[in-house]
Structure 1
């Protein structure tokens, strides 16, 4: 394809750190050859002398034969990911090009580099930028899922991106850019260096870099109209992966205590709602996924006269639960979980403190509070109400029956109305606290604490569990 090979004003050196997994490396190189203008840009394949270094070197040299813009360099000894990147950028590459650090398990797409470079140089305050992907934490598309069991395959991400790219803003400012594919201005590398060796052999180094330049006034960005696919978790796996991630997260947070709050603000306030609800705007199935929140008291004795009758809500839950093509979730305070499960046997019940994901439509019942309003805003593409006196911008007034709710859940969305609702509700005082990250269950909190104390032991345990249930790290 030639669509992605137009020239840009700023030349780039694409640095691909290579250690193992030769098939992925070759696929990555092939995608670069296909989609990057190699008359303008350069590629540096940094072979970090792993166990398969000889075979990788031979295969890469054969694959890049006749490509003068692609260079292979092999370290005399293994330096680890951080050391390998630093040597490539600070010693081996002698150009004045911007630097794109690209994981060897990625697949680039037409026009991605032009878009990243254009946005990076559209302001002197822009420092680092990454694209969207199927596997890139907050840069993943879709980020929040209607059905977590489906995951984010390359095919699924490609379909969502193709459908929504023109509706998304060109970019967002984020606390950090994701390191799987990160374009950095050369002048900032000359000023600030690259990765801190404290993060060797890897994990957390790009976050530290972005936060470091951020304190000097340079912004990190996510480009929404560029996409690079990422297989992920090929370099560090199992116990080693968990140990490194846990230890290096502690370093990042200790150095930049503002980081955690900044990530929460980006996820729950600053993102465009088309991004927030991407999985519901481009559904992967014909199922109507509905949420009913029973309020702060779980439809207990505090219900007001204006609220739906608990028996009426009970009938509605039963009818929706029995309906084909509907997946219903009921959320209640954790303290009401046991009694609600008894009352609505067979229905998916989730503690509202732990609610995560997105739904096609959601309705609040019981005593309304700021938490419920914020929770419905961040989780539901469409908010359903029984009265237009609720003062929720963009809410849809529906009758309290299954047909009305299912019809509403399938109504085409007005994106400008969605943005107006999001802007209005997220601007309310205390919104971030009300809509903040779902609380971890006790077991997860204990695991995270154990990771801090004995990360290698916990990593081994997690690896054993994944092997037992047939999962691979994501």
Structure 2
């Protein structure tokens, strides 16, 4: 009897998968026909369809593409989008660094493609998560694509990814296969070049047509996201600075909000791979390690190398997490601004001077700030040094405390004073600005997070102190 139940269960599962495949293929075929007609007919492309059975997904597509000084490869990515996207779409390019070369290449694109592009220029590299959020906030589309600037899409990529949403209303994020990605999405041994990519992608689709694979992690080189997901989950978390692990974080939050992730197994795109990060190859390992620590601390997990089990996190349900970690506002100023209410760090009403040691600073150069403060400020002064421990993990907290204790012993510094505060609580991501607002001054410290933290502090209205001038700084109202 047990064997029979198992056989029936497998049969039902197979029938369900077959039904999903048929629905997906039918929608793909409809969408592809729509694309062919879209490019050829002079009629109103939104109102002409009066055939009852013909129901293509006509919603506008918004493509968000952050770029940091990689204009040549960006041009290839934009041209591929223009060539293989025959539907209503917009491209929002976020220029992380106000690069004249990028503006120049956009001017040289065909007029029909150029008019679809909106450019958001940042004077500095605000990082991949913040740049994506800027694009998402500006997007008009019902379907949102977040993609790297080193990805080449292939024929009908958008129609085929979009068709996956017709199978199950709970599907929130869809991704493709590629030649360069971690996890199940990376295909080994791809045998093609740029000239033969179209043929390769066509054969790939023929072999896998209509197949959808439920997954619990999608690498962020190219996502298609339903608008409702962004409404419910928000944007990418600025916690991850320049980038790495923000895609894992978003996938967890989407699933905790009740959405499914699927891999469209019949869609293949080319990914050159980490073009922007390669320009910072020296720091890449430090960024990866530091962001892994931040990710693990936020979700309360242990990483094995950089691996983890998403199922272990999602199985806890949304009630197992602070809502401030699950929804991330798209606007940076909703997290970091002078209007954010400060958190009480136990400084006793003193004027706070904030510093945040960076785990990537292996030489512990941040200790010099603590030493200078301890020697030059009296406990009865109106100031307090706030040492923010982030990531808020016991291992990192122990390292910070141990380093301070060893330095104090060597320097003969009495640590029994209330004006040196260690703040190590796990603050929800959307409330991180409250820690900055507990201080009036910020000391940027060495490490891979320096620029991101400095940007957050300035957004919160803090005055910046040079770490080498802590011993003789003249505070504004002294």
**TM-score after normalising by structure 2:** 0.48
Q: State which structure, 1 or 2, has the greater radius of gyration over its C-alpha atoms.
A: 2
